[in-house]
Structure 1
Amino acid sequence: MLNYRQLHYFWSVARTGSIARASEQLNLTPQTISGQLSLLEAHLGVALFRKAGRQLELTEAGRRALPYAERIFQTGAELEALLRHQPAEQPVLFRVGVADVVPKSIVYRLLEPTMALAEPLRITCREDKLERLLADLAIQRLDLVISDSPMPSHLDIKGISHKLGECGIGFFAAPALAAALEGPFPACLTGQPVLIPGADSVVHKRLLRWFDEQQVQPRVVGEFDDSALMQAFGQSGAGVFVAPSAIAEEVSRQYGVQCIGQTDAVSESFHAISVERRTHHPAIVALSEGARRDLFHHTAP
């Protein structure tokens, strides 16, 4: 591994043009600097300087190395200045990955308690496919992943699932479509356009199975990985759409739609996946406690 102290001596000699002047700046003896330069050249297997009268000049290898040394020590100076001038109270960084199948309203309700913490917090959210998020969690690019499923058993990735809660699903329709439905729920869905979560969602197969069990035959006109996009289509009247019953009021209010029915026979569960069995991050603790206390009626131990 490169010895950065020796590299610093090289950089100083290259800038001053002589070991004597570099030794004055660094408050070291010329013998110390000369010896360390020799060790650096031996480690690299190249000569970095050659004598030019009483001065030293860079060899071709030295000229190539100097710009890299300049950038290294410039970056080091910037880092030192940054850390020395930090505000007294730094916000805690909370990096959250959100599986794209999780409804955005659920994500907000889950994260809402973290914003009330006494300790300053800065949240960064990234939405993606679950497997890519878990890969980033494993290398500590994320603190937490929110998903509609626990940690997949087939992935060779370290992660612990914490069940946040579970709820049924509600069915929503724009006012004009809701008025056109005939008969009791769920029979009124037969022949009607419906929008459902995509195949990556846990609820997808459960919902289709429930339609069969209820002998309901709707027209599936759209499947969506992105819940917000599905809700936007539903708001326009493109079809009846589903959302977790835990956020039924928010969905109705936000999109101006009506809840035409709900069922607990098709349930959605939500999970926080972290790399530790016991969570210590204050935001994860607040999220977990808030979910069990305020958002879901049924929680896991």
Structure 2
Amino acid sequence: MGLEDASIVERNFLRLVKELNCTNRDHDKEVRCMQTKNASEIINTTETISNPLQSVLRYPFMAVDYDGYFFERPVEKILGTEKFKKDVDVLLEKTTNESTIYMNHYLQNTTYGCPFYPNKPVEDPDNQCNMTKKQYLKSIEFLVKILNLNVTATKKIRKIYSNLTLISYRDRAVRIFVDFFFDCDFLEFGKKIDTYINKTKDKYFFVLGKRISINPWQLFFGVTHDCQSHYMFGHPFLNATAYGYNATMEQEFSSQYMKILSKFTHNAKLYKGYPDKIWNYWPNFNAGETFGVFVNSTLRGWDQYDIINISTHTCERVKNIKLCYRLPRFSIPDICLI
């Protein structure tokens, strides 16, 4: 989802200050007023703030591209000019279903068929986003609109995913939103930084495919980043009672997950499984060979992580659609004429 322009976030913050009745010409007084508000009041108020300059899929208070303090220059410009530290090892990670956490929020009305009724059980049939074909097609139109693409893109997207006939319209929509907003961008980012990082350094990519047992969302959501961060910080150990009879299983996976991170930070050497030998290293990810590891269970004995290709033929087509059909288009890249 990227970073946000600092001026946009500043406007949103001024709106928040106003909504909480803290506007004052004296900035110190504004700060003191905001400090008197409790967290719930602030969070609830942020939910009411929107900005026409932002996509509906972007939060009003995202991290900014340049705050003038933490980074010396805007992050996008730093990446574009290669003026950053390159003598480093890299570990990239994504989940399998990142887009689903947005579906209940942005596709909730009858036009798209993804409402969520909090007064009903999570797995109630009415909470399963069971799209009709018409609602599925409308969700594609929604995606095209927020990406600022022209109408031709709608037809192209429908064609790309027309072969997914064995899965529901809901799951087709999930796949489309995952590809266009997350997975393909993650892939492109990995390929881009590979060209910058020193070739003597290790670059890894893994996909987290295990759903945590205390995930409060519907099963069809799959694995998203929100609750999965619990594994990273050892939550199953810190609050074992929350996991009930799954506590031991979740502690084992959490321990394994944290070991991946600790081994990487120690010497950047990761192993597909037992034994920890040089011939059993994770594959290195690079722009030419986009291999990664699928982490979806606790390894036992001689178990090994599955090696997967992060790249897909679909992502190349997604990239071309974003390039060729964005509005306004004053010139057509050569690749779009093929």
For the superposition of Structure 1 and Structure 2, which TM-score range results when normalised by the shorter chain?
under 0.3
| Greater strand content | 1
TM-score, structure 1 as length reference: 0.22
Higher RCO (CA 8 Å, separation ≥ 6 residues): 1
TM-score, structure 2 as length reference: 0.21
